[in-house]
Structure 1
């Protein structure tokens, strides 16, 4: 069973065996929401189903709950069951952005108690490098029994993050780039800056130069340096909209430092209310 990452070679062997994984294509681009749909149609891992960040992996926006609020879990569970994700079935999510979007699917399945889920380390390119091919056929829905179980991941609300400012009980870690964290070059959200007291760990720092995750010992050392003695389970992770923070949570789980929670609304929810304090620099 793979629970964090899977290599291209290991996935190739798994798909050739008697119990192949259900593959979820999560390719997406924030500046081009239709990119993933086009990329999937042009060629995807054989048997893969496409999940759209906005339509499948996010819920309805109200203007004050962030850019990618969590989806209705009952709806997502039904969608996954229709694609053949059954109890105990291995699931592998992938993209072509270093796991940026696949990590969201990984985290959501774990939120619903499904432990048998991993992200393809290196995405489409590592599949091709391992000798895999792409396909344009859309697989038929298989149908399965997908039972929601006790969550394997946790969340905190905006109110809890706000209360934490006055009585700190957890560390907030922001997965956005250093410039946006500092309040510079903000082009996505209407307000620049970060949650007061938050620490910055851009999610791209989890990756090596080849686009795959760094070695577990390297990840663990870098994250322990950031935590500075704070236990991993005492960290709450956020980003712009609750997507790339899942990448940090995946990296931590892979490094043997699980237990952190997600603030799903993240900065896009936080900054929607001018009464909430903002820090820059």
Structure 2
């Protein structure tokens, strides 16, 4: 790691056996990201506790995806395409990323990681690309920007998501507001349905893709977490429930009770980039106080 900027050399550690960087704002808010997968594994706002769920059984290594935090999903979601020949959830979350830039400002600190195509990625997906993840922390807020650029000579389509595992105190006590009126694809029961509940409650397995999702609010006891996105048209809400959780080697059997995935995504309408074109999606999480 001799190529790290001097401003980051004291921020280097090892998490899950992988090189990790922790960025800290002037107010003490901080975030930790693995270079493996460009994978955010921790976000602690100023004056608050951990907001992300990382499985105590999570593993990381070549070709292995980390269970928890914020995996970067690109260029396909699950095995839904647009290129179904790719590994599940694409190729970004299991590859080594590099540091592109680091800036410490008065009210926030920002880190950008980059993934660029190489011979290994082109063997899976024959396209030239540049993928950037910019992480910004300060006060009660976390900003995640995903940027994709077509650096090749042919157009390509992609789907993307920031597969955010939120830590919760007790899943059955969580409420998610803002989805009423959205159409969603139910990947447990099948079919398309219109959401008619002003607040979602959770009791076990759920796997839904909500289309044209607006800003959301997670209520967890006194905690209020605002979730806002730009460029991501969909929202995925996922929890494995007790039976599927027990079958996951990298999750404790009761882990489903301490997490809920609410992730910004671009699935229903994949993006097409011509050579030289780019796209960016922004996701902002912020603690907004209590009732």
Query: What interval of TM-score do these two structures reach, taking the shorter chain for normalisation?
Result: under 0.3
Task: Specify which structure has the higher proportion of strand.
Answer: 2
**Structure with the larger RCO, 1 or 2 (CA within 8 Å, 6+ apart):** 1
Task: Specify which structure has the higher proportion of helix.
Answer: 1
Q: TM-score, normalized by length of structure 2?
A: 0.26
